Structure 1
């Protein structure tokens, strides 16, 4: 019987891990205690499983990949990290690649023609040939590089950032096993531990501290992208593409007018009401440039009754304002962005509604229940739930949105499906693309009032980028698929996309694009 294997995932929703303490009671019976002080809260954990199916598609084997799942658990428990999804995705890709190599090996040696003295052994995650080029880790690196630079099928092409994240997941996985003493027949890659000594901060009792850094030669290095006469970039960041004017108009019509989307209900696709919370959520993303995690942590104290005589106002986020921001190297750095008056008015009216008050009451009851059950880790840590805050976005059962962000992705997919049904055109972006749309459109507006350098600095400030080069990633992406939408015109001009084009050719191209 032929069995086909694949990697499937199991997602564990937010839960609190408590280290078990096993002891013997006075009757000589074993007992288990869970000390609260060692609790670790996991926002989400995606575990890997190896699934085997027969020729009819029936599952005949289902085995948790413990050697992977131990690494993922260690990342949370020993390194005190709340998220590991990037490693799960990377390892799903890596082990799927390994399964394909095993299929090729099985096809070649299906008649027991394998000679152990001459032929390579069957590829495995924990057994490696002596030569570097024959090891699955380096073969995987080569495959990633080809998927970035040489893949002609756009649906199979990987972005540089995705490929780099995948190879980093593989390095972390094997480094974990090396640290824990796993005995490989040959090393998976060249590995070295370097001890770095550095001067301690003023708050430390020691003058110098040290840190062990695990390094390897398993890395991907790409040259800088070159402009392709205004055409597609071979490694463009698809997650940074802004929505076109027409795409956003179709989305905004749903968010502010119909508030109805296509939804799969009991296996049947039909229209349903889009909750007002998600309408506001996506409007904030588009018009403030906040990340979805930042939006989900907004609270009532940040919402005010706006002055309708003004077009817009400032919105502060981060530690100083009591909400969460994404900050390089950790922390909760504060910043200010802008928000249109009409969006702030919608938020203000929502906080006065009975619907919001009911959800806020449910949140307080939910917190009480979690405390009574001993799930205190939910309320501990830098980005934990603050019981005293009146969060803006709360589910009907009382859960804050920022611990259930996957549902925002689901609602966004419903919006995209609805837009496709109405317009016949597919929106390929994720929620993060609304942030890019904000960046590009704000840059265009600012260019009409100030110099390019000042405009870039102001956009960077609103996005919370410490390095303006990061902001330029959002703006450079406008080159990827030039369109006739005016949202791109000044951005393309600033980036010099048309520097090498004759003026007549440029005008002709502009007329051609405006007809689309």
Structure 2
């Protein structure tokens, strides 16, 4: 099975002196920390894919390391599939149905139809593979006349906030997989909030049976809307430096973003709102024996993190994924069926929905959107408006449900034939 690893890339250049070639650091090129690289199960690097990652990060467009890492995660899934299928990525037979990339597309669709892959993941995974092959063709890693796929130009129309229409042309492949996600209004990353009753059951479960760290992370997600990357990069100093809001003393503000040591999506700077009782609980945890034991075995550079694993390491995405899997299993055994498809990011959708509901009752829609946008560190206000639209539909959905039940509830348990007599 192929692996995705990260390296600290330090560019060098050759220097010839006395007919000898030596390599020295290149002062004109920038170093890159945590550059994602793919290795086959044999340990050999997938050089072409790794070249793609380096090229994207150092491109003139300034590819973000997190975006490139996400693409490489999709590509390593393709690499693992290639090894399992015993196929070569660079071989394109004349017969279309024999090509690895086409067979992989079919496997992705099958996984989507079985429900083992989300439609959005299926689409993104195929798109990453297509991007890589375009790179490979440009740099000559595959023969330029190889029959890859058929590209077509697509005209996209876009209306800006002022109502002016703009059009641009993009390229689409016949291998692209459409995102056949379910119909209905969704919030950030296509997720919906958790019901209040379900939140209570979940937190009661994690308080009694779950790891303390997961319980606190869930509380932070539900009560502040913080993303998991923000929560797992909090340091003790960030909690200690939290300060009370002038107008709402029971709400504390924690500075996050560049310069704070706390990661945010798109490197947005801002402050998350956290209830005082949770700040107090986080401070108590920070100096508890449970955490101090973890801190004692941690490397010096990691000791200041608020949340550490039992091995003294910061929580990474892979660790969180495994913990969420364990949590879903625990919840399922406890009869919490709503947890079968639970995603941590639903805590953020839950907080945003609640906060927008409170804000709309207290002030105008414009002021409410501005307040929620800042509290949730939204880069684009369009994301915040999703919560307004979501809440606007709730009364309508409730009324439809009530009316439907009132009209048709009498049919249950009665002979259907009498309604056709």
Superposition TM-score, scaled by structure 2 size: 0.68
Give the superposition deviation at 1:338: 1.8
Change (3 A) 1:236 1:299: closer
2:335 counterpart of 1:423: yes
- What is the CA–CA distance in structure 1 between the aligned matches of 2:259 and 2:125, rounded to whole Å? 35
2:325 counterpart of 1:333: no
What does residue 320 of structure 2 align with? 408
- What is the CA–CA distance in structure 2 between the aligned matches of 1:223 and 1:416, rounded to whole Å? 26
Preserved contact between residue 190 and residue 218 of structure 1 (Cα < 8 Å)? yes
Change (3 A) 1:424 1:465: closer
What does residue 279 of structure 2 align with? 344
Q: What does 1:476-515 correspond to in 2, within 5 Å? A: 492-493=393-394, 496-497=396-397, 501=400, 504-505=403-404
Preserved contact between residue 11 and residue 30 of structure 2 (Cα < 8 Å)? yes
Give the superposition deviation at 1:422: 1.6
1:391 to 305, 316, 321: 305
Preserved contact between residue 38 and residue 50 of structure 2 (Cα < 8 Å)? no
- What is the CA–CA distance in structure 2 between the aligned matches of 1:430 and 1:509, rounded to whole Å? 35
Q: What does 1:130-145 correspond to in 2, within 5 Å? A: none
Preserved contact between residue 188 and residue 349 of structure 2 (Cα < 8 Å)? no
What does residue 251 of structure 2 align with? 312
2:193 to 236, 239, 242: 242
Change (3 A) 1:320 1:41: closer
- What is the CA–CA distance in structure 2 between the aligned matches of 1:142 and 1:462, rounded to whole Å? 42
Change (3 A) 1:215 1:502: closer
What does residue 379 of structure 2 align with? 466
- What is the CA–CA distance in structure 1 between the aligned matches of 2:8 and 2:224, rounded to whole Å? 33
2:4 counterpart of 1:16: no
User: Which string of whole-angstrom CA distances, capped at 9 and with x for unpartnered residues, describes residues 431-467 of structure 1?
Assistant: 2222112122223333443345543443333222233
Preserved contact between residue 127 and residue 185 of structure 1 (Cα < 8 Å)? no
* Bigger RCO (CA 8 Å, 6+ sep): 1
Change (3 A) 1:147 1:474: farther
What does residue 41 of structure 1 align with? 33
2:92 to 127, 130, 142: 127
Q: 2:252 aligns to what SS in structure 1?
A: strand
Change (3 A) 1:86 1:306: closer
Q: Structure 1 unaligned segments of length 5 or more: list them.
A: 1-7, 50-61, 104-121, 193-213, 262-273, 368-384, 479-489, 511-516
Q: 2:362 aligns to what SS in structure 1?
A: coil
* Between 352-361 and 287-296, the greater mean CA deviation after superposition: 352-361
User: Which string of whole-angstrom CA distances, capped at 9 and with x for unpartnered residues, describes residues 121-151 of structure 1?
Assistant: x9975426599x9977678779878987xx5
Q: What does 1:77-116 correspond to in 2, within 5 Å? A: 78=58, 82-83=65-66, 84-91=68-75
2:204 to 250, 253, 268: 253
Superposition TM-score, scaled by structure 1 size: 0.57
Q: What does 1:293-312 correspond to in 2, within 5 Å? A: 293-304=229-240, 310-312=249-251
Change (3 A) 1:215 1:129: farther
2:351 counterpart of 1:438: yes
- What is the CA–CA distance in structure 1 between the aligned matches of 2:311 and 2:343, rounded to whole Å? 26
1:292 to 225, 228, 243: 228
* Between 90-99 and 333-342, the greater mean CA deviation after superposition: 90-99
- What is the CA–CA distance in structure 1 between the aligned matches of 2:110 and 2:381, rounded to whole Å? 30
Give the superposition deviation at 1:179: 2.8
Change (3 A) 1:406 1:145: closer
Q: 1:319 aligns to what SS in structure 2?
A: coil
User: Which string of whole-angstrom CA distances, capped at 9 and with x for unpartnered residues, describes residues 164-218 of structure 1?
Assistant: 42233123211221232232333535679xxxxxxxxxxxxxxxxxxxxx96432
Change (3 A) 1:241 1:297: same
Preserved contact between residue 352 and residue 376 of structure 2 (Cα < 8 Å)? yes
Change (3 A) 1:156 1:448: same
- What is the CA–CA distance in structure 1 between the aligned matches of 2:194 and 2:145, rounded to whole Å? 51
Change (3 A) 1:466 1:217: same
2:173 to 213, 218, 230: 218
Q: 1:298 aligns to what SS in structure 2?
A: coil
Preserved contact between residue 91 and residue 99 of structure 2 (Cα < 8 Å)? no
Preserved contact between residue 123 and residue 179 of structure 2 (Cα < 8 Å)? no
What does residue 185 of structure 1 align with? 145
User: Which string of whole-angstrom CA distances, capped at 9 and with x for unpartnered residues, describes residues 50-69 of structure 1?
Assistant: xxxxxxxxxxxx69683664
Q: 2:322 aligns to what SS in structure 1?
A: helix
Higher helix share: 2
